[in-house]
């Protein structure tokens, strides 16, 4: 049986440092990305995700350097995202050593990029990252872009299906309502999307303890769980989380 | 010297990083003489079956891989580098594989499964004395990313099996030819150990 994956996420700022934000604001420094990557690799992370939150020309260069160092030291898959707009951007990052690229704003603005990327590098390389927020009036979830600053009004579940159709290999589902809150994943939309697409869905935003990660799998039907602060601030180790999950019948790699 | 075949795409860099980390001298190359003159050959493939075959044809590397195998140079195919050793693939109808092993490459068939299979799954080791599985515990987790797998006709070559909705052959071994559907270069410590075992053959 395929194991559920635990994926630490490292948000990297313009200075090449890992930071953690709350509701996409107020970054706090959490350490050196290469050191943290090696630490998580040794601790049993199943994959890693790096997000270039500055997404500028300078930070892209920092990112490429970082990818090279990470690829030489850790032997699990890792995904890189932030500011990717073209197939050439993808190629640059994959060439530096990333296994997958994650696209967010550009997937909404230029959905053809999903198809082009999948055609060129294979679906397994293309992660579509979707930032969603609940619209309480309409009782649905809408897709946001530009790091949560702009509401597109697009229905999140529909966009996830469209991404799959265009060739996305995985969906990374972020919730603007839950990011950095430690209140747990937004299980309702997680379950809805996970059950409506045939590709793996990675739960993200809000995991603050092992129980919430368990719920992401059992109630949210996620295939993988992404978390940041819970691991960065060493509230729980990856091993502890995995043991907790295994004791409750979830298949994990320990 | 260990050669990693460069067919123009693929994750040759990841395999190189792993071998560098393990301390084995290696090169990424598409040069026929260097490949045929190496102690071991690794062929990592990613992406589409037909594209991999076409790229190999373009560089005239199919003949070279067949020679490597004929000359009994230890050979390791990874992912699509495993699949192309078989006859045909549902992924690319009309394009012939290398036909080194009997069987076709087929897609996972299940309504309830997420495809591709992405993530860590277990290997049930069938050849307990396999040199590349030395010190690898049975049921170890390794990393998979694929939608297709070869339907192996010859039971004697089955090295390991994995279950994803259905059981499939996740690694084969015949003489000095080894191939895995999973990515040892991305399978953490266990994967590195498999690579190291291969490099030490």
Q: A with B: how many residue pairs have Cβ under 8 Å apart? A: 81
Pick the CATH number of A5-247 from 3.20.20.70, 3.30.360.10, 3.40.50.300, 1.10.300.10: 3.20.20.70
Residue A225, class by beta-carbon neighbours within 10 Å (0-12 exposed, 13-18 middle, 19+ buried)? buried
CB contact under 8 A, A223 and B118: yes
3-state secondary structure (DSSP) of residue A144: strand
CB contact under 8 A, A72 and B163: no
Cα–Cα dist B101/B91, whole Å: 18
Each residue of B76-119: pLDDT tens digit? 999 999 999 999 999 999 999 999 999 999 999 877 889 889 99
Domain-wise residue ranges, chain A: 5-247
Check pLDDT > 80 for residue A30: no
Each residue of A201-250: pLDDT tens digit? 999 999 999 999 999 999 999 999 999 888 888 889 999 999 999 999 99
What the block records as the tokens of A239 is 């091993």
Chain A touched by B34 (CB under 8 Å): no
Helix axes A33-43, A57-73, angle to 10 degrees: 30
Q: How far does the CA of residue A52 sit from the closest CA of chain B (Å)?
A: 21
Check pLDDT > 60 for residue A23: no
What is the 3 state secondary structure string of chain B?
CEEEECCCCCCHHHHHHHHHHHCCCEEEECCHHHHHCCCEEEEEECCCHHHHHHHHHHCCHHHHHHHHHHCCCCEEEEEHHHHCCCCEECCCCCCCCCCCCCCEEEECCCCCCCCCEEEEEEEEECCCCCCCCCCCCCCEEEEEEECEEECCCCHHHEEEEEEECEEEEEEEEECCEEEECCCHHHCHHHHHHHHHHHHCC
What the block records as the tokens of A163 is 């991404």
What φ, ψ does residue A133 adopt, rounded to 5°? -145, 140
Cα–Cα dist B170/B149, whole Å: 8
Residues near B200 by Cβ (< 8 Å), separated by ≥ 6? Answer: none
Each residue of A75-102: pLDDT tens digit? 999 999 999 999 999 999 998 899 999 9
Q: Which of B21, B186, B187 is opposite residue A99, by nearest beta carbon? A: B186
Chain B touched by A200 (CB under 8 Å): yes
Check pLDDT > 80 for residue B9: no
Cα–Cα dist A24/A129, whole Å: 15
In what order do the strands lie in the sheet containing B104-107? B88-89, B104-107, B148-150
Helix axes A210-218, A187-196, angle to 10 degrees: 40
Chain A touched by B149 (CB under 8 Å): no
- Which residue of B12, B14, B26, B114 is the best one to mutate when testing the A interface, meaning the one whose CB has the most A CBs within 10 A? B114
CB contact under 8 A, B17 and A97: yes
Q: Kindly report the CA angle at B137 between B136 and B141, in degrees rounded to 5? A: 90
Q: What percent of chain B has pLDDT over 90?
A: 90
| C-alpha Rg value of chain A to the nearest Å | 17
User: Please, what are the domains in chain B?
Assistant: 2-199 (3.40.50.880)
Span B42-66, mean pLDDT?
92
pTM of the model: 0.94
pLDDT band at B7 (very low <50, low <70, confident <90, very high): confident
Chain A touched by B121 (CB under 8 Å): yes
Whether cis (ω within 30° of 0) applies to the bond prior to A105 is: no
């Amino acid at each position: 049986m395929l194991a559920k994956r635990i994926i630490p996420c490292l948000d990297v700022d313009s200075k090449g440092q890992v930071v953690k934000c709350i509701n996409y604001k107020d970054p706090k420094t959490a350490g050196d990305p290469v050191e943290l990557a090696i630490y998580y690799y040794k601790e049993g992370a199943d994959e890693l995700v790096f997000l270039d939150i500055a997404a500028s020309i300078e930070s892209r260069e920092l990112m490429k350097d970082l990818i090279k160092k990470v690829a030489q030291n850790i032997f699990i898959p890792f995904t890189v995202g932030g500011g990717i707009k073209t197939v050439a951007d993808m190629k640059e990052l994959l060439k530096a050593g990333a296994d997958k690229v994650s696209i967010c704003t550009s997937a909404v603005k230029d959905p053809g990029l999903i198809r082009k990327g999948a055609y060129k590098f294979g679906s397994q390389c293309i992660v579509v990252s979707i930032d969603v927020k609940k619209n309480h009036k309409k009782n649905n979830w809408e897709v946001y872009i530009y790091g949560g600053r702009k509401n597109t009004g697009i229905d999140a579940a529909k966009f996830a299906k469209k991404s799959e159709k265009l060739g996305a290999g995985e969906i990374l589902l972020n919730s603007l309502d839950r990011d950095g809150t430690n209140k747990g994943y937004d299980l309702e939309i997680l379950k809805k999307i996970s059950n409506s697409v045939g590709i793996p869905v990675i739960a993200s935003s809000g995991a603050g303890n092992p129980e919430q990660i368990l719920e992401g799998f059992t109630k949210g039907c996620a295939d993988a769980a992404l978390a940041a602060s819970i691991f960065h601030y060493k509230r729980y180790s990856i091993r502890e989380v995995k043991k907790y999950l295994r004791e409750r019948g979830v298949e994990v790699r320990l | 010297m260990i050669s990693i075949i460069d067919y123009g795409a693929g994750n040759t860099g990841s395999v190189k990083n792993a071998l560098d980390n393990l301390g084995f001298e290696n090169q990424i190359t598409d040069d026929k003489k260097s490949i045929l003159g190496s102690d071991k050959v690794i062929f990592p493939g990613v992406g589409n079956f037909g594209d991999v075959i076409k790229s190999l044809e373009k560089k005239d590397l199919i003949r070279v891989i067949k020679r490597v195998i004929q000359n009994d140079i230890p050979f390791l195919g990874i992912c699509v580098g495993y699949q192309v050793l078989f006859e045909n693939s549902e992924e690319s109808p009309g394009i012939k594989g290398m036909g080194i092993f009997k069987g076709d490459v087929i897609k996972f068939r299940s309504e309830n499964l997420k495809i591709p299979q992405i993530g860590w799954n277990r290997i049930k080791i069938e050849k307990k004395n396999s040199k590349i599985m030395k010190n690898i515990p049975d049921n170890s987790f390794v990393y998979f990313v694929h939608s297709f797998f070869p339907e192996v006709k010859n039971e004697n070559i089955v090295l390991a099996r994995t279950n994803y909705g259905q059981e499939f052959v996740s690694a084969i071994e015949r003489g000095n030819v080894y191939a895995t559907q999973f990515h040892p270069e991305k399978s953490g410590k266990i994967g590195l150990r498999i690579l190291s075992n291969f490099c030490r053959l």
